[in-house]
Structure 1
Amino acid sequence: MTTLDLLRRLMGDVPVFELGHVWLAGAGPGDPAHLTLDAVAGLAQADVVVHDALVDPRTLAMRRDGAVLEFAGKRGGKPSATQADITRRLVELARQDKRVLRLKGGDPFVFGRGGEEALTLAAQGIPFRVVPGITSGLAGLALASIPATIRGVNQAVILATGHGADTEEGLDWAALAATGQPIILYMAMKTLDRIAAALVAGGLSPETPAAIVVSATLPGERVLTSTLADIASDAEAAGLEPPAIVAIGGIVTVREQLLALMPRVLEAVS
């Protein structure tokens, strides 16, 4: 039984990947267990998979026989393809009548530059489809026992990028601090010290709970909890490196509460 046969059992009608089309798909937070069925359908039909660095090898191994892999990873501080090059390649492949799966970690429209690629494809007359994925900023925290929202703690959550935190074009961190709502940071490890200082200067207490989840959902996952004042130095001391998600706010304290209660739960069901 093929992958498409299994998908038909689960989905009924499987979306058809047409020649000359591009699917902008999310691969989820890492572990292939969190792929959507539509993303698997794309892997089962694509001629070319243009993928980012954070897509798990096990996910790529699910591609159909004969499908070509093209690496288009963008990792901070390392040689990588420019966004213009990647988008140009998507157009080239589609015009060669290839079924092109553009596979990104997380969700393509959450700090994945999928919006930029969609706009270019549309301007060039290339048919495309968006296949949402589970963003690591939510799933990674949830699986680390940190809820993005919890009644009595927050009424909103802020998703922000750490890129540009040290430039004039960066975010107004004082304005974010003034909301009093938890902040979830993507791509913030290199600028975490400056972000933390800016948030404290903007009014957040230095004792605000903070956490880092590294390699979320994967076997090498690591979770560090600290305070806003110490999170950057603690991360450096622990040798934590990207990919990582950072959470700042009262939602972080739920992790410790759950971990403290879990032995009782396990004892009750044993």
Structure 2
Amino acid sequence: MKGKVYLVGAGPGDPRLLTLRADELIQKADVVLYDRLVTKRIMSRVPRGTPKVYVGRSIGDHTSHQDSTNHHMLEQAKKHKTVVRLKGGDPIIFGRGGEEAEYLKENGIKYEIVPGVTSGIGSATYAGIPLTHRKFASSVVFAAGHEDPGKESDGVDWKAMAGSVDTIVIMMGVTRIGTICSELIEGGADRGTPVAVIENGTTPQERMITGKLHNIEQLIKSSDIRPPAVIIIGGVVGLSEKIKWR
């Protein structure tokens, strides 16, 4: 008999943003496989005595680690009835949930995907930044700042994006922010476009800095902003001072 794997979104960090379904599964799991973006406060909700297996990857590890995670899911599903693969944010928004679901399907393992609040939305909301607004933004795009080197295409076309969307939310982009901003400006974006960078969004350790496309790279360095951080580019950033509620 094989168990079932639940690909569960843990949300952006604040345990109060866990869905009821996510918490239900955490409470009844036979084993929890968790990554580095799942906070200690969320992990504290795992019942004492439930095995917890860390499967987090290091930045830059794109292939070998995922193979190891897939192996863990398969082996645990052979041993346990309920396997929770707990992921920061949402499983299928830059969370590799799609890849893991494909792997489970290919190996005959039952699975369920449980959505979570992605950090791009949660961090913005807690910082008082509405990603869409009738007066400022009718479109929003989520983009990865880092690409899988194994992809055949060149990845995100930042220059094209500059004139086609109102709000840009970048995940995993802190180390490449200089290049990204330069390409956006080359694509026609105003050098003075507002930018916010939110580190550890929704958690007690949250920090946010704001700047412009032309100077945000230097501000990130001088403020020592580190991943995990979400970058938001667009006019809606200017509403934060008025709307912020934390």
- When the two structures are superposed, what TM-score results if normalisation uses the length of structure 1? 0.85
**Alignment partners' CA distance in 2, 1:73 and 1:165:** 17
Q: Which has the larger radius of gyration?
A: 1
Q: Quick check: 1:183 aligned with 2:195?
A: no
Match of residue 221 from structure 2: 236
The residue aligned with 1:37 is 20
Cα deviation code 1:159-217 (max 9, x no counterpart): 00000399972311111112042100000001111001010011101100000010001
Question: CA, structure 1 residues 31+81, in 2 after alignment: closer, same or farther (shift >3 Å)?
Answer: farther
What letter is aligned with 1:211?
A
Distance of 1:34 and 1:127 partners within structure 2: 26
Question: Aligned to 2:36, which of 53, 57, 64?
Answer: 53
CA contact (8 A) 1:49 1:70 kept: yes
Q: Does 1:199 align with 2:164?
A: no
> What's the offset of the Cα at 1:148?
1.0
CA distance in 2, matches of 1:31, 1:203: 37
Q: What is residue 252 of structure 1 aligned with on the other side?
A: 237
Evaluate the alpha carbon distance shift between residue 197 and residue 165 of structure 1 in structure 2; reply closer, same or farther with a 3 A threshold. Answer: farther
CA contact (8 A) 2:2 2:78 kept: no
Among candidates 94, 98, 110, match of residue 111 of structure 1: 94
Tell me the CA shift for residue 81 of structure 1. 6.4
Any conservation in 1 of the 2:30–2:80 contact (CA below 8 Å)?
no
Are 2:212 and 1:224 equivalent residues in the alignment? Answer: no
User: Within 2, Cα distance between the matches of 1:79 and 1:198?
Assistant: 24
The 1:115/1:80 distance shift into structure 2, 3 A limit, reads: closer
- Measured in 1, the distance between the counterparts of 2:129 and 2:184 equals 21
Q: 1:141 aligns with which of 124, 132, 152?
A: 124
Runs of 4+ in 1 over 6 A off after TM superposition: 78-81, 165-168
Aligned amino acid, residue 209 of structure 1: P
Sequence identity (%): 38
SS state at 1:66 partner: coil
Equivalent in the alignment of 1:69 = 52
TM-score of the superposition, structure 2-length normalised? 0.93
Question: Shift of the alpha carbon at 1:80?
Answer: 10
Name the SS for the 2:163 alignment partner: helix
Which letter does structure 1 place at the counterpart of 2:199? Answer: V
Which structure 1 residue ranges, 5 or more long, are not aligned?
1-17, 263-270
The root-mean-square deviation of aligned C-alpha atoms, in Å, is 2.1
List gaps (5 residues or longer) in structure 2: none
* Alignment: residue pair count: 243
Between 1 and 2, higher relative CO (CA 8 Å, sep ≥ 6) is seen in 2
Q: For the residues of structure 2 that align with 1:241 and 1:251, how far apart are their CA atoms?
A: 23
Distance 1:52 1:106 in 2: 11
- The answer to whether 1:20 aligns with 2:3 is yes
Provide the C-alpha distance between the structure 1 equivalents of 2:26 and 2:57, rounded to a whole number of angstroms. Answer: 21
CA distance in structure 2 between the aligned counterparts of 1:97 and 1:222, rounded to whole angstroms: 40
Once residues 58 and 193 of structure 2 are traced to their aligned partners in structure 1, the CA distance between those partners, rounded to angstroms, is 29
Give secondary structure in 1 for the equivalent of 2:169. Answer: strand
How far apart in 1 are the matches of 2:29 and 2:36?
19
Q: 1:245/1:90 Cα in 2 relative to 1: closer, same or farther (>3 Å)?
A: same
**1:154 deviation in Å?**
1.3
2:40 aligned partner, one-letter code: P
The answer on 1:89 being equivalent to 2:37 is no
Is the contact between residue 11 and residue 17 of structure 2 (CA under 8 Å) also seen in structure 1? yes
Alpha-carbon contact 1:22-1:99 (below 8 Å) kept: yes
